[in-house]
Structure formats: structure tokens, C-alpha cells
Amino acid sequence: MSINDLLILFPEIMVIVTGLSILIIDLFISNKRILPLVTVLGLFTALLFLIYQMSSGLTIDESSLLNSAIVFDQFGILYKFIITFCSLSIIIGSTGFTKSFNKFSSEFYALMLFSTSGMMFLSSASELIFLYLSIELTTLPLIALSAIHKTSKSTESSLKFLILAAVSSAILLYGIVLLYGLTGTTDIQLISSTLTDLFKNGETKYIPIALIIITLIVTGFGFKISAVPFQMWTPDVYEGAPIPITTFLSVASKTAAFAALIRISTLIFPNLSQDISWGQVIAIISALSMTVGNFSAILQNSFKRMMAYSTIAHAGYLLIGISAISVGVSDLITNSISTMTFYLIGYCLINMTAFISVMCILNTIENDSIKKLSGLGKSSPMIAFCLAISMVALTGLPPTIGFIGKLYLFSVGFDSGFDWLVLIALLNSVIAAYYYLRVVKVMYLETSSKSKVFSVSLMPKITILSLTIFIILFGVIPGPIVDITINAAESISIFR
């Protein structure tokens, strides 16, 4: 490990060191207000460094690290950037909210940072054991965080989360073990070349085991990205966890899981036998996820539960991209990775805006029924505006990044021959419009019985306003973001 390697790992190291120093600072300084400051500083440094890495064109030869456990490519860097950005925005946006668990604020920040570092490793992991470890590093702090309020609901949801995370990790691990048994290595790139050899000339001997491997890995990731039929933990955990953690789960955690899933489905799945049509399976999961997610969301009264189902639906939309990868045409793979990345960027911006806006209003632990938002259009027009824009963007209407994301994603899905899936997705967007716009309706059309004045601190306001500006800006000028995602996609598909 040279000094160059350390520089490459600098963002992750920065995040971990910040997390550790939070714990140490907390021992000596009783003023809790310094903690968010240190966290933001650490994340910001990591972010700047990631931007530097993104702009300095590194070549592929010097890119694999730690015995090729980590790959250093534009794809990984971009996902690390998204994750760090999410985590930074959530921490800035939740400065008002964290007062409610003042006693544990050092744990809150430290665990957030550890989980962030796990996600960063996950998005660049190129070795299956390391990937598994990163998933654990991501999940365990989140389990603790979701119980930080110590209410019975929160504890219950955290326990549920723990069990299902453990089960899904075990399933994933079993898939990894079988893959190791088949190929004799855990290095993703070596696996992919070994698999190509195993299955060349239409070999059929290994098809049963390959089927089991795919099933196990898809199931394992299905839990992580909350796709149907592995979604049942999502609404409960989202509802029970404090809002910043829900936000973090719904954006950063999902982004990281998709990063790993994209990497595996690009490098491993296509090299299995051509007889296995795994794309069709993913397509069915995708159709189920969006339909179940959207229909269930209609019935929800709790904002967090509604967003949980909406997350499931969006996982369904994103899986269209994974199905498109299965077609195996090189151009198409690049496009589908790029479009999924673009969609994820949009999705993160939008979901964070929605959650942080609601967080500003619910500054306490009280219930989060959608009815609580009534009259918001009058009492705090700015927050209502941001929330409304995020709902319009989730629906996929112009001029937001949500529209471009859907357009681009659906066109790639269509191009890859999944036209029936795109039609289902489009009809689903119509259903989704109903419950997203219901939120808008409640805010602007219903008047609340008691006129509350929300005292919202400055930082969350700045956060949601700038996120909203991004949502609209990238909806009008998507070009630069698309270019970045294309770069990232090319860097991963080059290994094929």
C-alpha cells in the first residue's frame, strides 16, 4: 500500500476519521453544537476530494487497490459522491431535528458517518467478501440509529430491521459462497472471466447452480433495495425510525445497494449461461414492485409510510435498467447504467427535499399523518413550495429532474425490448400521481384547524431550497449530469 493508495482512499478515511473524532470530542467537550460542525466539515472535505478525483483522469491500470478488493473507477467515485452528498445534506437539513435526541447526538453523527463510509466502500467494492463486509458496515449503524428514540415503535422497527437485514445478508452470503465454490475466487473480475470459460460452447452442466446463485443474490439485494416480494420490512422501519434516518435509508442506502447490484449484474450475471433469462425475472420483480408500491401508497395516511411505498415503486422503476442490462448489447449496458445513475441522482435530490421539508414541520416525535400538512401553503409557503415541487418531481412531471429521469429510463427500457414493462411503468406513474398530488392538495387546499407557526431554523431551509433549485435546474439542463453518468457507466462496462 503506497501513499498513492492512501490518497485514493482519502474520502473514505476522512469519513471514518471524522466519525472517530466525533466520539473522542464528545468525551471532552460538553457543547454538543460543535458535533454537527465537525461532521459537516469532514463530509465536505471528503466531497471536495471526490470532486478532485472525478476531474483528474486516472487510468485503469493503477486503479485496483488492496489486492483488488476495491476498484477505483469513475462509477465508484460518482456513487461515493452521491452518497456523501446525501449524507451531508441530511445532516445539515436535520440540525433542528437532532435536538430531540440531544443526549445521543455524538452517537447519531458517528454512526451516520460509519454507515456512510460503509456505503462508500460498497459502491467501489470489487471483491465479494469485501462487498459483504461493506453491507454489514452500512447496515449495523443504521439498525442502532433507527432505535435512537427508544420508543416502543422505534425499537420494534429496529428489531425488525435487524432480523431482516441479517436474513438477507445471510442469503446474499450463501449466494457468494456458491459463486466461490463454482469459480474458486471472490474477485469479481476474475469471477467474470472464469464464468465465461465455464459457460462457453453452450455448457449446460452448471446451469442449476447458476440459477441458485442468481436467485440468492437477487433475493439478497431485493431486501436491500426493498423490491417486491422482499419489501415488507420497509414501511414499518421507515415509519418507526426518526425522519433523518428514514431519509438516509431511502436515499443513500438504496443508492449504495444499487451501485453494488449494478456492478454485479454487469460483471457477473451476463457471463453466466445464455440460457438463463434473468432479465425476465428482474422485469417481473420490477413490474410487481411498482404496482404493489403504488397501490399500497394510495391507502396510506402516514407520510413516512406513503414514502416507504413510493420508495418500493421507485425501486421497481430502477429495476427496468437492470433488466435492460440483461440484453447484453454493449451500448445498451452503458446507457442503462447511465440512466439508472441519473434516475438515482434525481431520486435522491427529490426524496431528500420531501423528507427534510416534512422534518422541518414535524420537529418533534409526533405522528406524521399527511393531514398534519394541511394549511402549510399558508403557514410556511416556502417549505410548502419545496415539498410541492418534490411531489411533482416524484410524479415525473416537467420541468423537474424526475421527468427527465423517467423519460431517459423508460426510453432505455423500451430500447432493450421491454416495451410491456415500460407501459406498466407509465400506467403506474398515473396511479402515483394520485397520491403524490394528494399531498399537494392537502397543503394548499385544506386549512388546518389551528394555525401553527413553524419556527424553522435557517440551515434546513437553505438545504431544501438549494435541493429544490437542483431539481428544477437539472430538469431544464440535464446535459452535464447525463455526461457524468455516461462517463461513469463507461468506466464500469470497460471491464466486461
Q: Which is nearer to other proteins, 229 or 480 (CB)?
A: 480
Out of 13, 129, 211, 407, which residue is the one contacting other proteins (CB under 8 A)? 407
C-alpha cell at 203: 455448457
Q: Cα separation of 76 and 407, whole Å?
A: 24
C-alpha cell at 461: 431551509
From 69-77, 143-151, 220-228, 423-431, span contacting other proteins (CB under 8 A) = 423-431
Out of 17, 198, 423, 459, which residue is the one contacting other proteins (CB under 8 A)? 423
Distances (CA, A) of 95 to 38, 39, 45, 102, 403: 13, 11, 19, 11, 30
**Interaction with other proteins in 469-488: which residues (CB under 8 A)?**
478-479, 482, 486
Q: How far is the CB of 354 from other proteins (least distance, A)?
A: 17
Out of 75, 109, 444, 470, which residue is the one contacting other proteins (CB under 8 A)? 444
Q: How far is the CB of 257 from other proteins (least distance, A)?
A: 25
From 1-9, 95-103, 201-209, 440-448, span contacting other proteins (CB under 8 A) = 440-448
Give φ, ψ of 71 to 5 degrees. Answer: -105, 140
**Interaction with other proteins in 313-352: which residues (CB under 8 A)?**
331-332, 334-335, 338
Q: Is 441 an interacting residue with respect to other proteins (CB under 8 A)?
A: yes
Exposed (0-12), middle (13-18) or buried (19+): which is 30, by Cβ within 10 Å?
A: exposed
Closest CA to 281 of 222, 329, 234: 222
**Across the chain, how many H-helices and E-strands are there?**
21, 2
Q: Which is nearer to other proteins, 58 or 433 (CB)?
A: 433
Q: Which is nearer to other proteins, 181 or 480 (CB)?
A: 480
- Cα torsion 368, 373, 374, 375: sign: positive
Contact string 20-59 vs other proteins (x = CB under 8 A): ----------------------------------------
Closest CA to 119 of 107, 103, 131, 105: 131
Out of 101, 206, 414, 495, which residue is the one contacting other proteins (CB under 8 A)? 414
From 35-43, 184-192, 289-297, 425-433, span contacting other proteins (CB under 8 A) = 425-433
Q: Cα separation of 269 and 284, whole Å?
A: 17
What is the DSSP secondary structure assignment for residue 147, as one 8-state letter? T
Distances (CA, A) of 444 to 70, 297, 356, 375: 49, 20, 19, 6
Q: How far is the CB of 376 from other proteins (least distance, A)?
A: 14
Q: How far is the CB of 433 from other proteins (least distance, A)?
A: 5
Q: Which is nearer to other proteins, 310 or 335 (CB)?
A: 335
**Interaction with other proteins in 367-406: which residues (CB under 8 A)?**
392, 397-399, 403-404
Exposed (0-12), middle (13-18) or buried (19+): which is 482, by Cβ within 10 Å?
A: middle
Q: Cβ contacts of residue 487 below 8 Å, gap of 6+?
A: 74, 78
Q: Which is nearer to other proteins, 115 or 334 (CB)?
A: 334
From 9-17, 55-63, 235-243, 421-429, span contacting other proteins (CB under 8 A) = 421-429
Q: How far is the CB of 445 from other proteins (least distance, A)?
A: 6
Q: How far is the CB of 493 from other proteins (least distance, A)?
A: 12
Q: Which is nearer to other proteins, 337 or 467 (CB)?
A: 337
Residues touching other proteins, count (CB under 8 A): 36
Q: Cβ contacts of residue 246 below 8 Å, gap of 6+?
A: 237, 238, 239, 304, 307, 308, 355
Exposed (0-12), middle (13-18) or buried (19+): which is 297, by Cβ within 10 Å?
A: buried
Q: How far is the CB of 329 from other proteins (least distance, A)?
A: 10
Q: Which is nearer to other proteins, 127 or 415 (CB)?
A: 415
Contact string 76-115 vs other proteins (x = CB under 8 A): ----------------------------------------
Out of 166, 281, 365, 437, which residue is the one contacting other proteins (CB under 8 A)? 437
Task: Yes or no: say if 486 and 336 are a contact pair by the CB < 8 Å rule.
Answer: no
Q: Which is nearer to other proteins, 311 or 335 (CB)?
A: 335
What's the number of CA atoms in the CB half-sphere (13 Å) around residue 215?
6
Q: Which is nearer to other proteins, 53 or 338 (CB)?
A: 338
C-alpha cell at 180: 466461490
Alpha helices (runs of H) in 372-446, residue ranges in sequence order = 376-379, 381-395, 401-415, 419-445
Q: Cβ contacts of residue 210 below 8 Å, gap of 6+?
A: 182, 199, 272, 273, 276
Q: Which is nearer to other proteins, 328 or 399 (CB)?
A: 399
Out of 163, 197, 299, 434, which residue is the one contacting other proteins (CB under 8 A)? 434
User: Where does this chain bind other proteins (CB under 8 A)?
Assistant: 331-332, 334-335, 338, 392, 397-399, 403-404, 407-408, 410-412, 414-415, 419, 422-423, 426-427, 429-430, 433-434, 437, 440-441, 444-445, 478-479, 482, 486
